Amino acid sequence: MPSDRSIRWSAFGFAVLFGLVVVLGYIPGLNAPIHQHHAGADPGEHMLLGQYTISLLDDVTHGLTALVLLASAAHSARASRLALTIFGWYYAVDAAIFLITGLMQRVPLVSNLTLNLPHVILSSIMLTLAYSGRANIPRTAQA
């Protein structure tokens, strides 16, 4: 079971990671704009590390994730565990939706898995941390 201190450090580490994802998206040498001549291309989209299409919505989501995890790490282990649970499930559901959508759109399996692997791995780690040792916590108030 992770200690309270390690849960808080984990939340802090994830806050830094999600913050870096946002910052990396604005370093010109690491990114390229989406080809604007394609119909329906969003002018705010870019290719992160040449692999992932990132939109403004993605940046806001990752940025808010970073801020909430940072605030929870600063507040308490309980808040950190809650934030890891919430965002762990959020990114797990996000990965599941896009994996299933990719299958339905007949995206090649390797491409589909590669594209969604970061969210699968990160959500798995976040949920493992959040739920580790939780079975031993009393569910009712002591009299």
Using CA atoms in the order 34, 40, 43, 49, what is the torsion angle rounded to 10 degrees? -30
Using DSSP bridges, classify how beta strands 52-54 and 31-33 pair: parallel, antiparallel or unpaired: unpaired
Least confident of 16-20, 122-126, 139-143: 139-143
Residue 138: pLDDT above 70? no
Residue 142: pLDDT above 70? no
For 10, the domain range is: 4-135
> Please, are residues 115 and 102 in contact by the beta-carbon 8 Å criterion?
yes
The verdict on residue 82 lying in a domain is yes
The verdict on residue 142 lying in a domain is no
The verdict on residue 84 lying in a domain is yes
The verdict on residue 116 lying in a domain is yes
* Burial per residue of 81-107, b for 16 or more beta-carbon CB atoms within 10 angstroms, e otherwise: bbbbbbbbeebbeebeebbeebeeeeb
Number of domains within the chain:
1
The verdict on residue 140 lying in a domain is no
* pLDDT value at residue 122: 97
Tell me the C-alpha distance between 84 and 69, whole Å: 7
Question: What does the pLDDT look like over 89-136, one tens digit per residue?
Answer: 999 999 999 999 999 999 889 988 988 999 999 999 999 999 986 655
* pLDDT value at residue 71: 98
The verdict on residue 141 lying in a domain is no
The verdict on residue 88 lying in a domain is yes
Q: What does the pLDDT average to over 77-97?
A: 96
The verdict on residue 74 lying in a domain is yes
* pLDDT value at residue 80: 97
Report if pTM > 0.85. no
Element containing residue 65 per DSSP (H, E): helix 56-75
Q: What is the mean pLDDT of the chain?
A: 86
